[in-house]
Chains A and B, each alone.
Chain A
Amino acid sequence: MSNDAGARELGRRAFLKGAATGTAAMATAAPGLAEARARTDEAAAPEAAVAAPPPNASQIARELSASPPASLTPLVTRPGSDLMVEVLKQMGVEFAAANPGSSFEALQESIVNYGDKPNTMPEFITCLHEETAVDMASGYGRAEGKPMVALLHGTLGLQHAAMAIYQAYYGGTPMLIIAGRDDGFIQAHTADDMAAMVRSFTKWDAHPKTLPEALAALQEGYRQATTAPTGPVVVVLDTEVQKEEAGDFAVPAYRPPVIAGLDAAAARRLAERLINAKNPRINVGRLRTPQGVRQAVQLAELIGASTSSQATVGPMSFPNRHASCGPGAATDYDFTLGLEIGPADVALMGPTIASIAATRDKMGVAFGGLRAKPSPPTAPLAPMAVKIGETIGLDAEASLPGLIAAVQILLTAERRDAIAKRAALTAAANRKANVEGVRKALTVKRTGWNSSPVSLARIYAELWPLIENEDWCLASPSVLSGSHHRELWAHNKPYSYLGLPPAGGIGYGAGACAGAGLAARERGRIIINIQTDGDMNYAPGALWTEAHHGLPVLSIMHNNRAWHQELMFLTFMAGARGRGTDRAHIGSTLRNPFIDYRKMAEAYGVAGEGPIEDPALLRAAFKRGIASVKAGRPYLIDVITQPR
């Protein structure tokens, strides 16, 4: 492709007329320079400007006849993309988030127009950046434990969303990514093997050649995404396959995956050890779906075991204020069962992304944490060596039904009341531990209570009484704002807290909260988003998507006016080198000018207030915010906060 291919520029007038006849007559008389410009470009055409005299008879005839292009394709009555929408509908895909692109124009048209209730299940969600579309799918996937669709436009879409896809992979979040491919149009947007660019950080990908293959690939993609190790999958859909006539091809029925759990014998053995234990304990990590969490609660109640939970650090774990959750009456547990976590005498640990990393990483990138070489002990996020007796490499959630059934068989009358007695003691001990824990936490968190800029503990504390009786979901990563919710709030739902950005990538928070907002809107939930300023500034367009689709997201800015982690590191570096600690703010802070987040929100159509510097004003503002989001209108409150 000659060097100046990019330099062709198309005149205004000609762009439409040229397009109509473009396909038929490509010969450019004068060297008409068409600018290969848009994500969806035009055919090159002579650039002479058209004068405005009235068209003569021959022009009218040509206009009317509109000589069809050489590649005449007969009218399509049942386009392939309609069947694709039907397949997604049958699998219960609620949303398809996308930044529009011509390579999936046919699929977008079907989503918007096909069916008796068009643009529902899946509903087309308009995003201002592909990164936001995939981060929304992450937020939704972590809250619901099942995939939604993110639509990306060819090579550019996959590149624009690369970091978001990497974080979904690292976090094992189920997601169905569809990349449109239009091999005959703008060449820079297509490639022979587009998915190769993201193969090393996706779980599975396919590039079907025909419509039947495409429908099967969408179903297999959904299965792969929801089977342990869950994660993002990519299906590349050519525009020809989307636009071709399906005729009377029937949509294949979807067969959900079968995930292997404990066999009956193993379940019985484990049930016996649980029943015979005097002081059994169950450590619950991150399960796959809300169904799994319900069964873990059922098992704990059946056995009267005390439990530990990850609910305060991520989704899909044991309700942390459940009567059985806590240290229990006595901490000398004689048998510990681990569900996707240690320490435990017996731990049910399903396969993780690390187990498939090598097969996917054909490029040999060898990401840290997924590569053969173990990560150094000093590295944060590195897996901590935790004592596990016997590890059973089976999916914990899939094993629970069998285990529960086995336990129920063994439950005799006197075992039931022994368990009941133990359960009562455990409940009382746990409640006492809860109350003490909160008391101790409050004594620490009261420092800086009335200080301005506002202390973060004050924000989390003021929020709790206002959301306690709401169906809330804290969707934003909280470690940068002190994670005060962990001691003060009750995390009793699978989606109470959606955890940190899986690969520690900043920019994930805004999109994830909007994605959780999609799930919330359909279920009468509200989303709490303690939004760090650095994270918001990558793709703030998520605010417009929240306004456009009426997502119930309350964003409270943790506005410390910096990428504060960097500021602290740089101050240390400058100190270590004995120079310019007063210049460490260069490049690591958002000063001069300060960004006005209320104005930014209002620019996107989101009601907002602030900046609030006086902590006494917080409660009233939060009340207004909660009222607004409960009425389906997102709301943003800018709070100037202590940096940590």
Chain B
Amino acid sequence: MTLSSKLAIVFLALAAAFAGGASAQTAGDPARGKTLYFDHGCYGCHGYQGQTGARNLVGTNSPIIAKPEVFLFFLRQRGNFLPMIPSTAMPRFSEKALPDPQALDIYAYIKTFKLDAPDVASIPVMGQIEASAARAYQAGR
């Protein structure tokens, strides 16, 4: 089965999920989700509050975070590749390793994240850094 045909199937499944307004899964419990978020190492790459690390989970309207069905679909993905060299890409979370109810608990916990980053202008230390960047270069110092 060639690469492109695989992609086609993926798109079809994705479209169906979006269009069909798949049945709303039962809501997860954020409290349990918090421990699972730690146990399965999600914090490892996404930070404890979903703001640091590789990929933001907060302040984004990506459907993976927007819809639980897409979130579940996304977790079960990537079963079919294992690059020979070590990788820190998004791992696959199989049903066995992370059953749906638990995945939805994690999903509920992720939904509690809020982007609380103040803007640059309101952070004094950032102002100092910018000022120093703007200063003329003195060789000796």
The 24 listed contacts between A and B (C-beta, < 8 Å) are A13-B54, A15-B54, A15-B88, A17-B54, A17-B55, A20-B90, A23-B83, A23-B85, A23-B87, A59-B62, A63-B62, A64-B10, A64-B64, A65-B10, A66-B78, A66-B89, A67-B3, A68-B3, A68-B80, A71-B83, A105-B86, A184-B84, A243-B82, A243-B84
Inside 8 A of A75's CB, which chain B residues have their CB? 79-80, 82
A 67-92 to B, binary, CB cutoff 8 A, 1 in contact else 0: 11101111110000000000000000
- Bound CA span A382–B33, Å: 64
Q: Counting CB contacts under 8 A, is A444 at the interface? A: no
Q: Which of B53, B62, B89 has the most CB of A within 10 A?
A: B89
Chain A residue at minimum C-beta to C-beta distance from B54? A16
Q: Counting CB contacts under 8 A, is A239 at the interface? A: yes
Q: Counting CB contacts under 8 A, is A52 at the interface? A: yes
- Bound CA span A13–B104, Å: 27
Q: Counting CB contacts under 8 A, is B42 at the interface? A: no
Shortest C-beta distance, A640 to chain B (Å), equals 43
Shortest C-beta distance, B60 to chain A (Å), equals 5
- Bound CA span A20–B89, Å: 5
Q: Counting CB contacts under 8 A, is B45 at the interface? A: yes
- Bound CA span A184–B60, Å: 36
Are A66's CB and B62's CB within 8 A?
Answer: no
B 63-76 to A, binary, CB cutoff 8 A, 1 in contact else 0: 11000000001100
Shortest C-beta distance, B6 to chain A (Å), equals 8
Within 8 A of B (CB), among A27-75: 40, 42-43, 52, 54-55, 59-61, 63-69, 71-75
Shortest C-beta distance, B16 to chain A (Å), equals 13
Q: Counting CB contacts under 8 A, is A616 at the interface? A: no
- Bound CA span A16–B56, Å: 12
Inside 8 A of B137's CB, which chain A residues have their CB? none
B interface residues, Cβ below 8 angstroms from A: 3, 7, 10-11, 14, 45, 53-56, 59-64, 73-74, 77-90, 115
Q: Which of B60, B64, B86 has the most CB of A within 10 A?
A: B86
Q: Counting CB contacts under 8 A, is A102 at the interface? A: yes
Out of A16, A19, A42, A66, name the residue touching B77 (CB < 8 Å).
A66
- Bound CA span A16–B74, Å: 17
Chain B residue at minimum C-beta to C-beta distance from A66? B78
Shortest C-beta distance, B43 to chain A (Å), equals 14
Are B90's CB and A66's CB within 8 A?
Answer: yes
Q: Counting CB contacts under 8 A, is A185 at the interface? A: yes
Inside 8 A of B45's CB, which chain A residues have their CB? 16
Inside 8 A of B83's CB, which chain A residues have their CB? 23, 69, 71, 73
Q: Counting CB contacts under 8 A, is A240 at the interface? A: yes
Given contacts A42-B88, A55-B62, contact A72 B80 (CB under 8 A): yes
A-B pair number, CB within 8 angstroms: 91
Shortest C-beta distance, B5 to chain A (Å), equals 12
Q: Enumerate the 5 nearest inter-chain pairs by beta-carbon distance, A residue then B residue, closest first.
A: A16-B54, A20-B89, A68-B81, A102-B86, A185-B85
Query: How many residues on chain A are close to B (CB under 8 Å)?
Result: 38
Are A20's CB and B55's CB within 8 A?
Answer: no
Inside 8 A of B11's CB, which chain A residues have their CB? 61, 65
Are A240's CB and B84's CB within 8 A?
Answer: yes
- Bound CA span A276–B53, Å: 81
- Bound CA span A239–B83, Å: 11
Chain A residue at minimum C-beta to C-beta distance from B117? A52
Are A182's CB and B85's CB within 8 A?
Answer: yes
Are B84's CB and A64's CB within 8 A?
Answer: no
Inside 8 A of B84's CB, which chain A residues have their CB? 71, 73, 184, 239-240, 243
Interface of A is mostly: loop
- Bound CA span A642–B47, Å: 51
Inside 8 A of B54's CB, which chain A residues have their CB? 13, 15-17
Shortest C-beta distance, A157 to chain B (Å), equals 15
- Bound CA span A59–B56, Å: 14
Shortest C-beta distance, B110 to chain A (Å), equals 15
Within 8 A of B (CB), among A560-599: none
Are A19's CB and B87's CB within 8 A?
Answer: yes
- Bound CA span A587–B75, Å: 57
Inside 8 A of B115's CB, which chain A residues have their CB? 52
- Bound CA span A64–B79, Å: 12
Shortest C-beta distance, A357 to chain B (Å), equals 38
Out of A15, A60, A73, A182, name the residue touching B86 (CB < 8 Å).
A182
Shortest C-beta distance, B63 to chain A (Å), equals 6
Are B62's CB and A16's CB within 8 A?
Answer: no
- Bound CA span A61–B77, Å: 13
Inside 8 A of A20's CB, which chain B residues have their CB? 87, 89-90
Are A52's CB and B81's CB within 8 A?
Answer: no
Shortest C-beta distance, B123 to chain A (Å), equals 15
Inside 8 A of B55's CB, which chain A residues have their CB? 16-17
Given contacts A16-B45, A19-B88, contact A52 B56 (CB under 8 A): yes
Shortest C-beta distance, A574 to chain B (Å), equals 45
Chain B residue at minimum C-beta to C-beta distance from A42? B88
Inside 8 A of B89's CB, which chain A residues have their CB? 16, 19-20, 66
Chain A residue at minimum C-beta to C-beta distance from B60? A54
Are A40's CB and B86's CB within 8 A?
Answer: yes
Chain B residue at minimum C-beta to C-beta distance from A74? B80
- Bound CA span A408–B26, Å: 77
Inside 8 A of B78's CB, which chain A residues have their CB? 66, 68
Out of B3, B59, B61, B74, name the residue touching A64 (CB < 8 Å).
B74
Inside 8 A of A15's CB, which chain B residues have their CB? 54, 88
Chain B residue at minimum C-beta to C-beta distance from A43? B85
Given contacts A52-B59, A60-B63, A64-B14, contact A73 B88 (CB under 8 A): no
- Bound CA span A55–B115, Å: 16
Chain A residue at minimum C-beta to C-beta distance from B92? A75
Chain A residue at minimum C-beta to C-beta distance from B52? A12
- Bound CA span A599–B95, Å: 45
Inside 8 A of A102's CB, which chain B residues have their CB? 86
Chain B residue at minimum C-beta to C-beta distance from A41? B86
- Bound CA span A67–B56, Å: 20
Inside 8 A of A43's CB, which chain B residues have their CB? 85
Inside 8 A of A184's CB, which chain B residues have their CB? 84-85
- Bound CA span A75–B77, Å: 12
Within 8 A of B (CB), among A174-200: 182, 184-185
Q: Which of B83, B88, B89 has the most CB of A within 10 A?
A: B83
- Bound CA span A75–B60, Å: 31
